A = this chain, B = another copy of it.
């Protein structure tokens, strides 16, 4: 089955990383992994556009099925390979409710993080305002405090409780991205502990963004 799966992805993108973690957790090693380049704009290349008219990474094909949206791809892999590898949607209703809640909240986290880290890339120079930068940073601070609180209240150790789930797959790469961009562990000790516990997990360690190894990003978030 794994050989029927192809994923186009770019290094350092949390959405791409999610899909790679899910593939590892579902024991789908042997899939066709094509790391392409954001710098060369290969997300707009012919072979990507052929399955993904948005011209984005990740793009995932399994046989004739295409699911390019990262969360959708993770859900689809879980449903198609339910009894293989890690069960990623908890059966316990309490954990399941928490998983859905945290997973979709993760999209707000990513949006707020992106608004800070990608500001200059997203907003043309003539439209930039210090007031917007300050507001975005404040919004991200509030967001991080929410997540710090979630982990403090538990149940833990994972986002939905005792079992690793799709919520961790969606949110961990966002947190790792924040830490790479300078988020300081001493300001968010619960998030830092969660990060440190999960970064050694085989599915995560194996798929760590290759372009992050041995290089340091800017410290954009050091005062957040």
Contacts and interface: CB of A to CB of B under 8 A. Distances in A.
A101 B73 CA distance: 8
A134 to B, nearest CB: 11
A65 B97 contact: yes
A94 B67 CA distance: 10
A interface, size bucket: 35 or more
Interface in A28-68: 53-54, 62, 64-68
Contacts of A103: 69, 72
B101 A68 contact: yes
A140 interface: no
Interface stretch (A74-82, A175-183, A214-222): A74-82
Interface stretch (A125-133, A184-192, A196-204): A125-133
Given A94-B65, A107-B107, A100 B126 contact: no
A71 interface: yes
B126 A94 contact: no
B100 A76 contact: yes
A117 B148 CA distance: 33
Interface string A108-120: 1000000000000
Contacts of A93: 65, 80
Contacts of A69: 100-101, 103-105
B124 A126 contact: no
Interface of A: 53-54, 62, 64-73, 75-76, 79-80, 89, 93-94, 96-97, 100-101, 103-105, 107-108, 124, 126-127, 129, 131-132, 146, 149
